[in-house]
Structure 1
């Protein structure tokens, strides 16, 4: 009888790792919820025209940007004027980590962001208050869910207007004087749209007269489509064109043929 009670007591015990597993699950759920809330609440709660938002952005600008762009964003020898640059330009440059610059070079490099989304929008609000300029894109143009027709139209527009620099597969490409067109896979729709309307660095500005907002949305749909679709042709080799493909043929293909020839010759001897 005592042995039976002892077995029941043992069978009712929790596994030693059960508590650790529950704690881990709780942390993951809490972290995911906090991340989702923080990402959706910043843009929803910040009024870019609020005087308090503009004032906070001015303080951040004075502490982090004025050295190059001037105390009033009028520009200096080290950085261009931002008067008329608009909120979209600030959100793109700061939101992708390009600004502040890590070092002077041919162009700003993508790196981890130094400011939160709220701080970025505050600086965008300050620059937008100085003079009219491109504003933040409407969320309805950032969904990338326009269907096959939108993807087809976006692909056509991309090949006509963008592929000569960014590559038809959006893998990026080299430009002159050490500059380059970055790859567009993995880029947030907001930043793709903002790049089109602000023309950062070597990129031309595509105003709504050149490419309408809906056409910009179609281009985003196309980019997200090629980002997610499988490579049905096999290895992409970076999708950078004939250089990588030719190198692969010469080194791997001809190398295999030479190796096979040597092996056959040695075998016959």
Structure 2
């Protein structure tokens, strides 16, 4: 019995020793790693596919974008100090999704404004380009549908969002985009494009990234909920009837005034001239004595 007690005492002392603690810790780490590998294989596959997507995006970037933006997205300055293509480090996947998804990039030639046109790349290629640009530096990600959609709201909540969005739009956007979102001219060859009927995702990304001459309305300036409210307001404009009759595209008082002066008064002047030219003139006959 004494022998057994001595052996148990030695074992308990060894168990309490520092070496035994390290062994237990290593065994715990090995077991945790094995369980993670067994129950989370999809995450490892997702990481591998992401690396493949970045590699595909880089190949597309070198062929289609590197001439203006540099081989590593660092931008290409010209001899006079201007930028042929700006740096893409930190612009994020949202800027790529907007610019390439709306066909603005690649540009046909450098200019003050990139016009919208049919996209050149497929959705998968745009996602790959976005993944590569996102790997260059942290930036805004492509928004989820829940960020800009009003689905799931009640009618009262949706109307409240439209009212809030209208106030934000009238304060920040009408100077360039017109009170109806029909766009307008800007100095130095730029213009504010029409944003009526634009896909909500692209409006959200434009607010988030500030393309071309547009200022950046990041989450520090407009919260995600406020961006969603602006999109709800723009969507409501398509449902609103034109109470003034022929609205002339909602371009504002200047074209309406021109239409009134040239069209309305011009028609009145033309009618007056025609009436004067075709009125029967009376002639006096000489009365013979």
Band of TM-score, shorter chain:
0.7 to 0.9
Is residue 2:211 matched to residue 1:205?
no
Aligned Cα root-mean-square deviation (Å): 1.8
Kindly state the Cα deviation for residue 230 of structure 1 after the two structures are TM-superposed. Answer: 2.2
Kindly state the Cα deviation for residue 201 of structure 1 after the two structures are TM-superposed. Answer: 1.0
Match of 2:106 in 1: 100
When Rg is computed on C-alpha atoms for both structures, the one with the higher figure is 2
What CA distance in whole angstroms lies between the structure 1 residues aligned with 2:48 and 2:96? 13
Match of 1:134 in 2: 140
Aligned counterpart for 1:178 among listed residues 178, 183, 189: 189
Aligned counterpart for 2:199 among listed residues 188, 194, 205: 188
What CA distance in whole angstroms lies between the structure 2 residues aligned with 1:161 and 1:139? 24
Q: Report if the CA contact (8 A) 1:74-1:82 is conserved.
A: yes
Match of 1:58 in 2: 58
Match of 1:254 in 2: 265
Match of 1:69 in 2: 69
Number of residue equivalences: 224
Q: 1:254 to 1:247 in 2, by over 3 A?
A: same
Match of 1:116 in 2: 122
Runs of 4+ aligned structure 1 residues displaced above 3 Å come to 46-49
- 1:50 counterpart SS class: helix
Match of 1:87 in 2: 93
Kindly state the Cα deviation for residue 133 of structure 1 after the two structures are TM-superposed. Answer: 0.4
What CA distance in whole angstroms lies between the structure 1 residues aligned with 2:239 and 2:247? 14
What CA distance in whole angstroms lies between the structure 2 residues aligned with 1:63 and 1:186? 32
Match of 1:3 in 2: none
Kindly state the Cα deviation for residue 255 of structure 1 after the two structures are TM-superposed. Answer: 1.4
Kindly state the Cα deviation for residue 103 of structure 1 after the two structures are TM-superposed. Answer: 1.5
Structure 1: give runs of 5+ residues left out of the alignment.
1-45
Kindly state the Cα deviation for residue 144 of structure 1 after the two structures are TM-superposed. Answer: 4.3
What CA distance in whole angstroms lies between the structure 1 residues aligned with 2:48 and 2:166? 33
Q: Report if the CA contact (8 A) 1:84-1:131 is conserved.
A: yes
What CA distance in whole angstroms lies between the structure 2 residues aligned with 1:67 and 1:155? 41
Q: 1:208 to 1:92 in 2, by over 3 A?
A: same
Q: Given the two structures, how large is their TM-score scaled by the length of structure 1? A: 0.79
What CA distance in whole angstroms lies between the structure 1 residues aligned with 2:49 and 2:105? 23
Q: Report if the CA contact (8 A) 1:88-1:134 is conserved.
A: yes
Structure 2: give runs of 5+ residues left out of the alignment.
1-45, 78-83, 282-289
What CA distance in whole angstroms lies between the structure 1 residues aligned with 2:69 and 2:238? 36
What CA distance in whole angstroms lies between the structure 1 residues aligned with 2:216 and 2:106? 22
Q: Given the two structures, how large is their TM-score scaled by the length of structure 2? A: 0.74
What CA distance in whole angstroms lies between the structure 1 residues aligned with 2:193 and 2:258? 22
Aligned counterpart for 1:162 among listed residues 160, 173, 183: 173
What CA distance in whole angstroms lies between the structure 1 residues aligned with 2:200 and 2:48? 20
Deviations 1:177-231 (A, max 9, x none): 1100101012111110000110111111111121110110010011111023222
Q: 1:143 to 1:47 in 2, by over 3 A?
A: farther
- 1:267 counterpart SS class: coil
What CA distance in whole angstroms lies between the structure 1 residues aligned with 2:162 and 2:176? 20
Structure 1 residues 164-173 or 228-237, which shifts more?
228-237
